[in-house]
Amino acid sequence: MSSPRSETIARTGRGTSPGTKGGAAAEWQDVERLLREGRATCWLSVRGRDGGVHTRPVFAAWHGEALILVTKEGAAKTRHLRSDGDVSLAVDLGAIHLVVEGAAARLTDPAGLERARAAMEDVYSWPTEVVGDELDASYAAPTSGGPPFQAWELVPRRAFAFPTRDQVEPTRFVFD
């Protein structure tokens, strides 16, 4: 995948000024590097059945062209993903706050599940194994409900990077 198109988002309003880099946009390769460090805190937002927004924490690992998410089959977020894959993922990367918008689809084929397994290992050093159409592991986050997990792939349409210390300008990324 080629790098997404990017453009700065103008700061307007009282008390705003360009960042310390003189108006430079965030670079996608810098965002990718931060995503692959395994220190991100991620919040998934998806439409709930009642039309409201359902937001919950989730592990998300960048793997080349998409984010891999893992969810418990019986979790509400999983039910909502099955009914509407249009999602927004908010990611705290420390130096940048990132919002990724796109479509999430369940991975059930061997190649997709292997991508998910590799992503969790590469980004979080979390060893999982493919069992049937899910990922299994000997341990998981205490609040996760425990293994096994479904794997989902979030292919970004747009992303927005917001600096935390004015190091770059707010930036919009558009993926082809």
Pairwise CA distance, residues 44 & 53, whole Å? 10
The distance in angstroms from the start CA to the end CA of the chain is 9
Spans of all domains in the chain: 5-11+30-174
- For residue 140, what is the enclosing H or E element? none
Q: Return the pLDDT at 14.
A: 64
* Among 173, 96, 99, 113, residue whose Cα is nearest residue 148: 113
The structure tokens listed for 130 are: 């493919």
Per residue of the chain (176 residues), give pLDDT as tens: 568 988 888 776 666 665 555 678 889 999 999 999 999 999 999 988 788 899 999 989 999 899 999 999 999 999 999 988 899 999 999 989 999 999 999 999 999 999 999 999 999 999 999 999 999 999 988 778 889 999 999 999 999 999 988 788 899 999 98
The structure tokens listed for 43 are: 């919040």
Query: What is the CATH class of 5-11+30-174?
Result: mainly beta
Q: Return the pLDDT at 102.
A: 97
Instruction: Tell if the pTM clears 0.85, that is, is over it.
Output: yes
* Secondary structure of residue 53 in the 3-state scheme: strand
Q: Cβ(131)–Cβ(148) under 8 Å?
A: yes
